[in-house]
Amino acid sequence: MKTEVLAGADLRRAVEALKNGEPVIFPTETVYGLAAPIFHKEAVKKIFTIKGRPQDNPLIAHISSLEEAEGIGEISDAFLKLAEAFWPGPLSIVVRKKRAVPEIVSAGLPTIAIRMPSHPIARSLIEEVGVPLVAPSANLSGKPSPTCLADCLEDLDGKVRLAVDGGECEVGIESTVIGLLPEPVYLRPGAITKEAIEKVLGQTVSDPLPNGPILSPGMKYRHYAPKAKVHLCFRKEEWREPLIQPNAKTLYALLRDADRKNVSDIYVDCNEQIQKDAAIMNRLLRASGQIH
């Protein structure tokens, strides 16, 4: 089987495939996702198999309306404030789940991560299927996330029937994940900063405790990692070739490019501006194996 690529303008076959329990690759503004309808357990199971994703790593539910959120999670005032301020956009909110959400989606946790993407193709797809779509990134587990269709096919060609092309991802880095259980915890840094969330909630948002309980299981895995060894250079004296100077949008493409060239080592310019960006520093520290 070869993966068939559909143009974003024609979603009919993608909708049909999803309804029939076939996972489909689709674009979002953060990274490309591999989708399945949330209540279709067999389809969700296929996502884990296709990606080689550990079963204890929960999936994010993508919605196109607030009513859909009410069907799967416990909605609070804080949730509505964040939704109003940042949706549609790159923020996933973790809340207590409703019983209707299958265990396989939440990896056995009593919670569910919910996000309303802004990409028009993602929104139409969810709307037309009529239920939230759960989706992790459309890559092999552990590899850098895919920010264009070619990246998805590099990892998953032949393992998925259909892929929808939506061009390059605008954000290029996975969503911010915030827990509201009910106190706000900044679980995964992303384009939406902790400070921006604090401003909207009018309260302090904490970071997960380094030795505390694992609140976001996916974060314990090695992630975003190319085959090449990644060296972070905090001073110019440490620069070597090949050197990359990434931003949030280009990071994954640069890491994948290094692997295509089969280089053994890759050096990253971690200048002051990058050091100030919690989202990109988090991915770089993981890519270089310094945090797990």
Residues lying near Mg ion in the complex (CB under 5 A)? 136-137
The answer to the question of residue 132 lying near ligand AMP (CB under 6 A) is: no
- Residue 36's beta-bridge partner residues? 134
The answer to the question of residue 111 lying near ligand AMP (CB under 6 A) is: yes
Partner in contact with 68, chosen from ligand AMP, Mg ion, none, beta carbon below 5 to 8 Å by kind: none
Q: Distance of alpha carbon 14 from its chain centroid, rounded?
A: 20
The answer to the question of residue 201 lying near ligand AMP (CB under 6 A) is: no
Q: Which of these ranges, 36-44, 72-80, 209-217, 224-232, lies near ligand AMP under the rule CB under 6 A?
A: 209-217
What is the size of the binding site for ligand AMP (CB under 6 A)? Answer: 20
Q: Which of these ranges, 36-44, 103-111, 201-209, 270-278, lies near ligand AMP under the rule CB under 6 A?
A: 103-111
Instruction: Give the largest CA-CA distance in the chain.
Output: 56
- Rounded Cα–Cα distance for residues 145 and 255 (Å): 10
The answer to the question of residue 138 lying near ligand AMP (CB under 6 A) is: no
The answer to the question of residue 218 lying near ligand AMP (CB under 6 A) is: yes
Q: Which of these ranges, 12-20, 123-131, 217-225, 262-270, lies near ligand AMP under the rule CB under 6 A?
A: 217-225
The answer to the question of residue 177 lying near ligand AMP (CB under 6 A) is: yes
The answer to the question of residue 169 lying near ligand AMP (CB under 6 A) is: no
According to CB under 6 A, which one of 93, 109, 163, 164 is a site residue for ligand AMP? 109
The answer to the question of residue 155 lying near ligand AMP (CB under 6 A) is: no
Closest to ligand AMP by CB, 40 vs 188, is: 188
Give the β-pairing of 162-165 and 24-26: parallel
Partner in contact with 113, chosen from Mg ion, ligand AMP, none, beta carbon below 5 to 8 Å by kind: ligand AMP
Name which of 35, 52, 22, 69 is nearest 166 in CA terms: 35
Q: What are phi and psi of 63, to 5 degrees?
A: -120, 165
Q: Which two tokens stand for residue 133?
A: 């779509």
- Rounded Cα–Cα distance for residues 289 and 292 (Å): 7
Residues 221/257, Cβ–Cβ less than 8 Å: no
- Rounded Cα–Cα distance for residues 194 and 81 (Å): 15
264 contacts: CB under 8 Å, gap ≥ 6: 228, 229
| 165 three-state secondary structure | strand
- Residue 33's beta-bridge partner residues? 26, 137
Closest to ligand AMP by CB, 180 vs 267, is: 180
The binding site for ligand AMP (CB under 6 A) comprises 57-58, 60, 94, 106, 109, 111-113, 136-137, 174, 177, 187-188, 215-219
